[in-house]
Amino acid sequence: MASSDLELLCSHVNEKIGNIKKTLSLRNCGQERTLKTMLNKIGDEIIVVNELLNKLELEIQHQEQTNKSLKELCESLEEDYRDVEHLKENIPSHLPQVRVTQSCVKGSDLDPEEPDKAMEPEPIKKPPKEQRSIKEMPFITCDEFNGVPSYMKSRLTYGQINDVIKEINKAVISKYKILYQPKKSMNSVARNLYHRFINEETKDTKGRYFIVEADIKEFTTLKVDKKFHVILSILRHCRRLSEVRGGGLTRYVIT
């Protein structure tokens, strides 16, 4: 047997002997009253510490779960923030306008120094003549734009198409304001336009709102070019207008 193996064996035996001595010493301590009382107290304190450790473990688990929930909430908020920033940077230039009408005046809006004036009844006004509404083309939505085939819209953007709709509505309103205007109040230019509008009407356009290319040139700054006609094709695809041909004219009817 090598000397190194013998040394290891001796060390192992000595370790076992040391453990036996410690065990016997602790056993003897347990027989003495003073030490026994102290050991009991230590045992009770160990139980208390063990209960505290259990509570601490439960609290750590709760904090870990809370931390996990907070991380998920933080990720959700970051995602919402990115969405808001994206919306902020990509706000459509055309949004439906909300009209707010004030039906009554609140007491706080009145001048306290003029109570008598506020209480005076308003003079009876003659009812205004009924104004005829003019139909306008609604702007296309993002979903409609995304549904347009790529070959049709090419490099056109959502905003460019709605810009053209805005100009078309401008032409429609300008045209029909003249048509609805009393003839006596027309100047020579308006009267000439009025007669052209009447001559351009057909049985297929009766009761419908339409314009022709001459109206685009008369009332807007749009160029009637290839790009303009591509946008008209998209508007037909989105069912915003239809065409009525006849007499060498193409009439763009608002649908």
Q: Could you tell me if 237 and 148 are in contact, meaning their C-beta atoms sit under 8 angstroms apart?
A: yes
Return the closest-CA partner of residue 183 out of 171, 173, 170, 197.
Answer: 197
Return the closest-CA partner of residue 142 out of 85, 93, 99.
Answer: 93
35-49, 189-203, 207-221, 226-240: segment of lowest average pLDDT: 35-49
List the domain boundaries for the chain.
10-83, 142-254
Q: Residue 59: pLDDT band by 50, 70, 90 thresholds?
A: confident
Return the closest-CA partner of residue 135 out of 191, 183, 177.
Answer: 177
Whole-number percent of the chain with pLDDT over 70: 79
Whole-number percent of the chain with pLDDT over 90: 46
Burial degree of 136 (CB within 10 A; 0-12, 13-18, 19+): middle
Query: Tens digits of per-residue pLDDT, 96-121?
Result: 554 444 444 444 444 555 555 445 55
Q: Which residues have CB under 8 Å from 217's CB, separation 6+?
A: 224
- What pTM did the predictor assign? 0.53
User: What is the torsional sign of CA 145, 148, 149, 153?
Assistant: negative
* Whole-number pLDDT of residue 194: 95
Give the amino acid at 156.
L
Give the amino acid at 103.
S
Query: Tens digits of per-residue pLDDT, 209-228?
Result: 999 999 999 999 999 999 99
Give phi and psi for 250, each to the nearest 5: -110, 120
Give the three-class secondary structure for 99.
Answer: coil
Query: Tens digits of per-residue pLDDT, 146-180?
Result: 999 999 988 999 999 999 999 999 999 999 999 99
Burial degree of 252 (CB within 10 A; 0-12, 13-18, 19+): buried
CATH superfamily of 142-254: Ska1 microtubule binding domain-like (1.10.10.1890)
* Whole-number pLDDT of residue 12: 82
